[in-house]
Structure 1
Amino acid sequence: MRSQTQPSGLIEDKSIDYVPASERHGEVKSLFTLWFCTNIAPLAVVTGAIATHTFGLNILSAMTAIIAGHMFGGVFLALTSAQGPQVGIPQMVQSRAQFGRYGSLLVIAFTTVIYLGFFISNITLSGKVINNVLPALPVPYATVLGALLATAIGVVGYSFIHKINKLGAWVMGAALLLGMAVMLTQPLPGDFWLRGRFSLSGWFATFCIGAVWQISFSPYTSDYSRYLPAEVGIRRPFLYTWLGACCGTILAFLFGMVAVNLVGGNVEAMAAVRQATGWLGPVLMVLFLINIICHNGMNLYGAVLSLITAVQTFMPRWQPNAQVRVLFSALVLLGSVLVALAASANFVSFFINLILALIAVLIPWCMINLIDFYLIRKQRYDIEAIFRADGGRYGLLNGRVLAVYFVGIVVQLPFMENAFFSGPYSQLVPGADISWVISLVVTGLLYPLCCWRSDLRLAAAPRE
């Protein structure tokens, strides 16, 4: 088995290594506060406003679509989170068990680009918000400050991320509930509850946005549960993650929706929040800024783990430690800041659209991962084999699984709708991108067939 040194010092002393039983710690309840706080973010507030502002739904139908979408998508997020205590390794390292040692590099590359894209976009956003709060600080310096703070959180690592989100959950949750009370206790527009109408296409489009929002977190959920003792089982990590992710995002989505409907017109969502919450508005802006920085620390943490996993794939004897993680974090910080400072506003918009388009590659991965862990492997992996140079029982390249993965991507194309491509059936449900649903169904059917015709059904050996 891999090294089993005791954790020490302020900075997390592991990178992608297996976490042995002697180093497991923490409470499963922290998964609720982590995913609750993480999802109370400006992007969630802005996205929630789309339900009524873009799709023209009335308040009640928008609420049901938002709640249903997040509750459905949250199941996938929570199922990946529940794997962490059982495997004790980051999510992308675990992908070697499905795709093979080298085969997993494709998924790792996609997720790394998504992590880095969100990190760069968020430090750009945080720079602008810091400049708005402190006008004397120029945007370039504010951007660097936001990046440094996020990097510091990511460098300290797992335990600090949980602690800061535990505090943030209470602060952000209370602030949004208070803000909601401020908005709903003032005189409402006469048509506040009647504005808009129910439409099946608008409802389903809103549902899809909520579901995909949750699924998009899946590639790194077990990164934040892998230190929990295996004895916590599956049910409790699932439940706390699902409740935290759903409650936090639903609250943020509804907050944005109520704000734009209260203000009316074509006011941008965050401006509507500031206007609708009166005296609380400036406080909320500062809290949202802190939330952006904290969440971006998670983006950096995930990006660094993925990069280290990619490098370690070609250097199986290498056991990266805390110093390596700090070095990779510094390199990511430097490169990201240079891109953020050099990028024009149009480039950042292009980058965000590229990230959103790449989320399509996560859907088939998610289905393969969940079916493999829960149905094929029966929640057990041979950790030693995952780290072996030859891939052990999982091999170097699993062609059948990669074929299923590519099919899961290709079947989305006719139904896909994004900034770069519109398939011939993209408007089958007007305003809704249903490509992810097609991929879930097709991948969910093909992967078990692939496994039943191979030796993948063999039970995994004990971990130790």
Structure 2
Amino acid sequence: MAVRDLTATVDGDEAMTAGEPGEQAGQLESHGIDYIPEEERQGRARELFAVWAAPNVSYLSLVVGAAMILMGLTLVQALAVIVAGNLLWVLTGVLAVSGPAAGTTGSVISRAMYGIRGNKVMVALTGWLISAAYLALNWSGASVAAIGLATRLGAPKSPVIDGVIICAIAAATLVVSVYGHATIMRLYSFLSVALTIVFVVVSGYVLAHTDWSYRPAQSLHGAQLWVTLIGGFAIIASTPLSYGNSPDLARYLPRDSKPRAVAGWTALGAFLPSVLFTAVGALAATALNMSDPEAALEGILPAWFIPVFVIAVVLNTVANNGLTAYSAGLALQSIGVRLGRVWAVLIIGIIATAMTLYALLVFDFLTSVNTMLELVVVVTGPAVGVYVADIWICRNRYDGPKLLDESRGSTFWYDAGVNGAGVTAFLAGALTGVLCVSTSFWTGPVSSLLGGANLSLVAGLVVSALVYVALGRTRRRAAVTKPAA
């Protein structure tokens, strides 16, 4: 059998023996980044639909949709951008197919692209540091809504109460992440239905107030219109590109699971609710002042339903951050930190909780974090481009046990632990993204020439993929047709 997870000793979980059934909901997951043997795999690809639907039946979708209208787009233009940007969920689905093929996490599979040592740097940046920022941002948004509800119900305004609410939301999230894969699969099936019902009710009230004849005060034309359309596309598409963890959730599926089914159910589960509720946000902005979305939506909802809506916002954040913290814990293991999965999850959770507390109770650092996240696509776009290209190059043939072999001279050691093709392709894509990006504090020279159009997402993604395909001969030789026993 392949390398076992350190959780078996550090977390005190007993390792399952060959022939036992797979992970069960309500039990601590015993696996981490280790190889999942075929006899422990179970489930069907269609179960991924609910897992990806629950995080994307989202209050954030309403806010982002409203932003499309606030940017000056017409309703038709906003809806077109929403659909186009969300099409990039297809790439999240493509990444997912490597999970069943390799039987391990995406943060380990990427060793094939960057080498054992090179991958540690990549995962630390794209799979851990950025995850902490996203956790803090999502928890902050949900906490503000929950604190507002507590005040409305008569709770006194107090930093202590605020801190308790923040920690409670974080704790609920970490419980989900700590219990792991099987619990996530079961719980999210329920959450996807419950959240959809609540947000459909919200959508009904929004539709009743929608101004179907809406026109922006000043119509956009020519270069200004294209700059806005491209900027809106980048905002929408940045969400699917931030989810490089789809292999982590698919790795328990049998190895012979059909790649089209794995990719399709993953992409569809995220695409449908994202399009629907982002569009609802755009519709809301035609008649409501969505510069303060929480107040605007609560203004049209009946008083009895507002607590239900806020609870749904909190549950959605738990679902969203539950996946993020789960994969961030696995990423920490893949970097080489010798901790079990549970402790790895708790560490990232404690760091992000501290960031959230500091943001809401001490100093508003979220402006700085939001500015940093404007540049996220410069990193996540090229990372996804390299990953998708690698799946194509090796025809999705991954050997999980070999990927877990970190010894010198192993298959994925390459040159001094670094795969030059992957690193070069990533850096080429990131540099292209920097040249083409347009943010509140930096506009690249290419973007300046194009009137401020933010082409960083598409340019970085495409360039990194093309460079990797051109340089990826080493990966073709390393590809195998069957994993080691």
Deviation sequence 1:316-375 (CA, Å, 0-9, x none): xxxx6xxx222223333333333332344431221232234233212112111111112x
Change (3 A) 1:31 1:331: same
Shift of 1:455: 6.3
Q: Mark the runs of 5 or more structure 2 residues left unpaired by the alignment.
A: 5-15
Relative distance call for 1:174 and 1:430 in structure 2 (3 A) is farther
CA drift of 1:103 comes to 0.8
| 1:34-45 matched pairs, under 5 angstroms | 34-45=51-62
Matched residue, 1:460? 480
Once the two structures are TM-superposed, the CA of residue 195 in structure 1 deviates from its matched residue by 6.8
Q: Which residue of 2 aligns with 1:276?
A: 300
C-alpha displacement at 1:248, in angstroms?
Answer: 1.4
Match of 1:377 in 2: 394
Structure 1 residue 172, shift from structure 2 partner = 1.7
Q: Which residue in 1 is equivalent to 2:111?
A: 96
Q: Kindly tell me the number of residue pairs found equivalent between the two proteins.
A: 448
Indicate if the aligned counterparts of 1:451 and 1:457 stay in contact, CA closer than 8 A. Answer: no
> 1:89 and 1:373 mapped to 2: Cα distance?
15
Q: Does 1:205 align with 2:231?
A: yes
Cross-structure match for 1:122: 138
Q: Distance in 2 between matches of 1:391 and 1:13?
A: 29
> Equivalent residue for 2:419?
398
Q: Which moved more, 1:10-19 or 1:172-181?
A: 172-181
- C-alpha offsets along residues 236-278 of structure 1, whole Å, 9 cap, x if unaligned? 01111111111111122112111221214x6422322222344
Identity of aligned residues (%): 23
Cα distance between partner residues in 1 of 2:90 and 2:218: 30
* Equivalent residues of 2:411, 2:478 under 8 A apart: no
Structure 2: which amino acid aligns with 1:210? I
Matched residue type, 1:231: D
Partner of 2:7: none
**Aligned partners of 1:241, 1:335: CA distance in 2, in Å?**
29
**Distance change (3 Å), C-alpha of 1:233 and 1:131:** same
Is the CA contact 1:113–1:355 (under 8 Å) kept in the aligned structure 2?
A: no
Number of the residue aligned with 1:240:
265
Aligned residue for 1:409? 430
Query: 2:256 matched to 1:231?
Result: yes
Q: Which amino acid aligns with 1:242?
A: A
> What is the match of residue 86 of structure 1?
101
Aligned CA distance change for structure 1 residues 259 and 95 (closer, same or farther; 3 Å)? same
Equivalent of residue 200 in structure 2, options 171, 177, 183: 177
Q: d(CA) in 1 for partners of 2:271 and 2:57?
A: 10
Which residue pairs with 1:365 in the alignment? 383
Deviations 1:74-107 (A, max 9, x none): 1111101122111111101101111111110121
Contact 2:143 2:166 in 1 (8 A): yes
2:231 aligned partner, one-letter code: A
Q: Which residue of 2 aligns with 1:108?
A: 123
- Alpha-carbon distance, 1:420 to partner: 4.3
TM-score normalised by the chain length of structure 1: 0.89
For 2:445, what is the secondary structure of its paired residue? Answer: coil
For 1:373 and 1:162, the matched residues in 2 are separated by: 25
Give SS of 2:35's match. coil
Question: 1:62 maps to what in 2?
Answer: 78
Match of 1:442 among 463, 475, 480: 463
Q: Return closer, same or farther for 1:189/1:248 CA change in 2, 3 Å cut-off.
A: closer
Q: Deviations over 1:12-51 (max 9, x none)?
A: 1111111111111223222111111211222222111111
Counterpart code for 2:432: V
Report the CA distance between 1:416 and its aligned residue: 1.3
Give distance in 1, aligned partners of 2:212 and 2:270.
33
- 2:445 matched to which residue of 1? 424
Contact kept? 1:119, 1:299, Cα under 8 Å: yes
User: What secondary structure, in the 3-state scheme, does the structure 1 residue paired with 2:83 have?
Assistant: helix
Match of 1:255 in 2: 280
Residues 221, 381 of structure 1: CA spacing in aligned structure 2 closer, same or farther, 3 A cutoff? same
Rounded Cα–Cα distance in structure 1 between residues aligned with 2:28 and 2:255: 23
Q: Structure 1 residues 439 and 461, CA, compared in 2 at 3 Å: closer, same or farther?
A: same
Letter in 2 for 1:83: S
Residue 13 (structure 2) aligns with? none
Gaps of 5+ in 1: none
CA distance, structure 1, for counterparts of residue 401 and residue 341 of structure 2: 22
For residue 247 of structure 2, what is the aligned residue in structure 1?
A: 222
Q: Write the distance in 1 (CA, Å) between the matches of 2:249 and 2:202.
A: 29
TM-score normalized by the length of structure 2: 0.86
| Map of 2:10 onto structure 1 | none
